[in-house]
Amino acid sequence: MCLAVPGRVLDIGEKDGTRMATVDFGGVQKEVCLEYLPDLQVGEYAIVHVGFALQRLDEESAKQTLELFAQLGMLQEEFGDPWEQAAAAGGDPWPFADDPDPDPEAGRPAPALAAPQEEGRP
């Protein structure tokens, strides 16, 4: 699903002759094109769809919408890691989770991955 998501402009610059911004969507930051809203300023909110800022939005409405999307799990669906989502859809756990202890009952961290050593070398 593709959503139009409100986000707050963090900074503005130019890339290849196009006015671009870094926009925060409730903790997720993405690069967004500002060509449809050339007068949008840092600190303002806009509704963004497929990488384009389409409409200016007041802060209260933006925060309410982001909160609602978060409660419904729509932000994770829109901005989540597609590889993690594919693993979950296949019924497998995501092997690169932030939790360093995959077996909390064992009370020990997961073993660290190490590069193989050649014989005779420390």
Q: Which residues of 83-115 are buried (b: 16+ CB within 10 A; e: fewer)?
A: eeeeeeeeeeeeeeeeeeeeeeeeeeeeeeeee
pLDDT in tens, 2-34: 678 899 999 999 999 999 999 998 788 899 999
Here the tokens at position 108 are: 């020990």
- pLDDT bracket for residue 66 (50, 70, 90): confident
pLDDT reported for residue 28 = 83
The pTM of the full predicted model, rounded to 2 decimals, is 0.60
**What is the chain's mean pLDDT, rounded?**
76
| Cβ neighbours for 27, distance < 8 A, ≥ 6 positions apart | none
